[in-house]
Amino acid sequence: MPPKQKINVITLGCSKNLIDSEILMRQLGDKYIVEHDSNEQADVLVINTCGFIGDAKEESVDAILQAVEAKKNGDLKKVFVTGCLSERYKAELKDEIKTVDGFFGVNELPEVLAALEVDLKKELLGERLITTPSHFAYLKISEGCDRNCSFCAIPLIRGKHKSKSKEEIIREVKFLASKGVKELLLIAQDLTYYGVDIYGKKEIADLVSRISDVPGIEWIRLHYAYPAQFPVELLQLMKENPKVCNYLDIPLQHISDRILKSMKRGLGELGTVNLVEKIKKEVPDAVLRTTLIVGYPGETEEEFEQLLDFVEKYRFDRLGVFKYAHEEGTPAFELKDDVAEETKQDRLDRLMMLQQQISFDLNKQKEGQLLKVIIDRQEGGYYIGRTEFDSPEVDNEVLIADSGLPLTVGSFYTVQIQKADFFDLYGEVVTGA
């Protein structure tokens, strides 16, 4: 029996891509020694690419070119490429980079496995090789998107919205809980559209409620909610169900009526403001994360200042700002990308400067509070964790000085917040939670 070859799977892009890598890696264990995002030398490399916008595409192409260079130098036997860039530009990539052993799209698991000489094991579908710390995991509840936001290439890459059945999702949740997962981050391209295709109506609230019944799951976090036709029953669930974090990631993208119309978001300024006010009224301590785009075609200084005023007035707890990227194949590609790069950067900086102060002020209000914190890791003399108001990798963290009292990674503690910083909190454990 020849020794097992080593395979390294590299994931670029978003958490949805990460899940695709985890599903692939779960199928490989019999034939390969499986590594994820490793710098170690391997026999085979699979690059799960991102093809969303310019910078991400560049990063993916660089990774492919490095890999084929390593293969040329004999440091790698085989290189395979999957994911969104490969889905979007398969023909061009095949033409231009002939030394790659295979390019695959986003829905080609059987084909990838065949190329790796591995049989698809149906009994393992719904299982993943979890790459996040074992106490939290992402849960993708659907694939693709039926929306037509003018700046977005995702529907071109990931296709139409396709919900997983509730049974399939609950099976996956039970698998994750059996591996020690306590916190689930629900993700999709359009989370709140869940169920429309297979149940004829939005079923996200019922799905979340069923997930909360799975023993072991303690926190459920909602990402990528869509603002138009927002299912308000989710707010009721947030209020009533202690396992549903008072946290909502809801990209709003802009506030100007003209720009929201051009973006085909299906909701204008008034609708957006009414929704934000409704959420804040229904769930007063809900933390809102949103995403905004600056420099969209034709964006005037007045329209940008309208956005600044909106952020100043509604004070989002968490904010991501992106510069508009002119993406071929998207509806907005027909428009002139007429906002200069420096102006885009200047607007991004001004918005993040404002947000830094807002984040600090909101963090200050948490001083003295007792908050439930999950410990993610130990680092530099601190235990580092998060409250229900913080998603991993993108939001604030709680730093607890290592006082010699050992804390367990993946466990919950009640922490008294003592000091606030711009994007982090410092605190002390008062009891186990």
CB atoms within 10 A of CB 213: 11
> How far apart are alpha carbons 146 and 106 in whole angstroms?
17
By the 10 Å C-beta count (0-12 exposed, 13-18 middle, 19+ buried), 430 is classed as exposed
- Is the CB of 89 or the CB of 226 nearer to ligand SF4? 226
Restricting to residues 190-219, name those near ligand SF4 by CB under 6 A.
190
CB closer to ligand SF4 out of 146 and 424: 146
Structure tokens, 346 = 């200047």
Task: Label residue 389 exposed, middle or buried (CB < 10 Å: 0-12, 13-18, 19+).
Answer: buried
* Residue closer to ligand SF4 (CB basis): 67 or 225: 225
Long-range contacts formed by 380-386: CB under 8 A, 24+ apart = 383/407, 385/413, 385/415
Q: How far is CA 358 from the centre of its chain?
A: 23
Q: Are 241 and 209 in contact (CB under 8 A)?
A: yes
Stretch that binds ligand SF4, among 120-128, 151-159, 235-243, 389-397 (CB under 6 A): 151-159
354: tokens are 């404002």
Residue 400 binds to ligand SF4 (criterion: CB under 6 A): no
Taking the least distance from each CB to ligand SF4, the nearer of 112 and 260 is 260
User: Can you tell me which of 149, 208, 260, 325 binds ligand SF4, judged by CB under 6 A?
Assistant: 149
Nearest distance from C-beta of residue 251 to ligand SF4, angstroms: 7
**One residue of 12, 28, 106, 154 binding ligand SF4 per CB under 6 A:** 154
Query: Of 24, 84, 93, 145, which lies in the binding site for ligand SF4, with binding defined by CB under 6 A?
Result: 145
Count of alpha carbons within 13 Å of 152, Cβ hemisphere only?
A: 19
Q: Does 155 bind ligand SF4 (CB under 6 A)?
A: yes
Site stretch for ligand SF4 (CB under 6 A), options 20-28, 141-149, 374-382, 399-407? 141-149
Instruction: Order the strands of the 244-249 sheet from edge to edge.
Output: 136-140, 183-187, 219-222, 244-249, 287-294, 318-323
Q: Is 152 in the site for ligand SF4 (CB under 6 A)?
A: yes
Residue from the set 4, 6, 90, 147 that interacts with ligand SF4 by CB under 6 A? 147
How many residues bind ligand SF4, per CB under 6 A?
Answer: 9
The residues binding ligand SF4 (CB under 6 A) are 145, 147, 149, 152, 154-155, 189-190, 226
